Amino acid sequence: MIGGRLALVLGLSLLALPAIARAPHHSPRPLARGSSTDLSTAAITPRLRPKPRAAVTAAAGGPPEAHQPPRPRPPSPQVASAAVRPAGLPFLGPETSPMPLARPEGLEEKVFLKKLKRRKGSVCGDIDIQGEPVGRVPGKLRGCGIEDAVRVREVAGVRLSQQAIMTCDTARALNTWVERGVKPAFRRRGPVVELRVAAHYACRTRNNKRGAKISEHGKGRAIDISAFVMKDGEVITVREGWGQGTTLRPLRDVWKAACGPFGTVLGPQADRYHRDHFHVDTARYRSGPYCH
C-alpha cells in the first residue's frame, strides 16, 4: 500500500520537471520583485508631476488649448470723455471755473467777527441771550426791585418788541421756552421773528390791586407776551388766535411748552386779566408748576 503511494508521487514529480525547468524565464507572469542584488544597487528615480496640457502643446509647437490671454480693462468715463473733448476747448481750473469757490475769501473772518460781536452783546453767560447788564434796580414798594438785572432784547434768535428787564433765571427760562416751545409750535407758519412784549418789570401788586402781594413783575421774574410775529409779517395775537381753529392749536402748544421752564403760566382760560396775553414767571412752588 505504502509502496504504491510512493510510486505515484515519484511519477507525478517526473511529469512536472519540464515545467519547472522553464520557470521563471518562460513563465507567463512577470517577477513580482527583482533579486536581492538588484534592489540593493538600483537607484530609485522620483516620479515627476506631469506638465499642463497647454505647456506640452506649446513646447511641441502647436496652438494652446482653451487658453485665452486676459482682456484689457475698458477705459473709464473720464478717459472716454477726454478722448472726445474738442482740442480747442481750454481746460478749466480754479481760476477760470464758472462755479464759485466753496468758501469765499474772508468768510471765516466775517463769521468769527459776527460771533465775537454776539458774544460781547450776550448776557447771563449765554450767547443766545442778547442784551446788556443793568445791575441793581431799586423798587418804590417794599419787596420790589432786582439785585442783578439784565435788559434783554433777543432770545434764541427771536427779538423782543421792547427790551425787557428781568433776572438771569427768567432770561434763561425765556430762551429755553422760545427755542423748545415757540419755534416748533409755529414751524409751519413761521419762522417766528418777534415776540410782542405786553409787560416786563414793573413795581406793582398783583393785578394792580391795592393791598395785594407784590407781583412777580415787581421782582423781575415775569414777562407778558401778547402776540407772535412771523417772518412773512403775519401777527398771531393771543386774544384773537386763541378762538380760531388754525391758530388755536399752535397757541395751546406754546402755552403747554411754557409749563416747565416757568413756574407759573397763565393764559386766556385762567381769568379775565389774561385773556389777551400769556403771563409767565419763574416763581417756584413746592407742589410744582402752576399752569392755567
Q: How does pLDDT run across 78-120, given as a tens digit for each residue?
A: 677 666 666 666 665 555 555 555 666 676 767 777 778 888 9
Q: How far apart are CA 148 and CA 220, in angstroms?
A: 10
186 in a structural domain: yes
Answer for the pair 149, 134: CB distance below 8 angstroms, yes or no.
yes
- Alpha helix (H) residue ranges in the chain: 2-22, 36-41, 53-59, 77-84, 107-120, 168-177, 183-185, 238-241, 245-258
Q: How far apart are CA 261 and CA 160, in angstroms?
A: 18
The arithmetic mean of pLDDT across residues 211-220, rounded, is 95
Supply the pTM of this predicted model.
0.63
282 in a structural domain: yes
189 in a structural domain: yes
Total Cβ atoms within 10 A of residue 107 = 11
Per-residue cell: 105: 475769501
List the CATH number of the domain containing 215: 3.30.1380
For the chain, give the number of residues.
292
- pLDDT tens profile 52-88: 555 545 555 555 555 677 888 777 776 776 666 666 6
Which residues form the domain of 272? Answer: 119-291
3 in a structural domain: no
188 in a structural domain: yes
What single letter denotes the amino acid at residue 281?
D
81 in a structural domain: no
79 in a structural domain: no
Q: Flag the least confident range among 37-51, 146-160, 238-252.
A: 37-51
Per-residue cell: 7: 510510486
- The number of folded domains in the chain is 1
175 in a structural domain: yes
Q: How far apart are CA 159 and CA 157, in angstroms?
A: 7
- pLDDT tens profile 238-287: 999 998 788 999 999 999 999 999 999 999 999 999 999 999 999 999 88
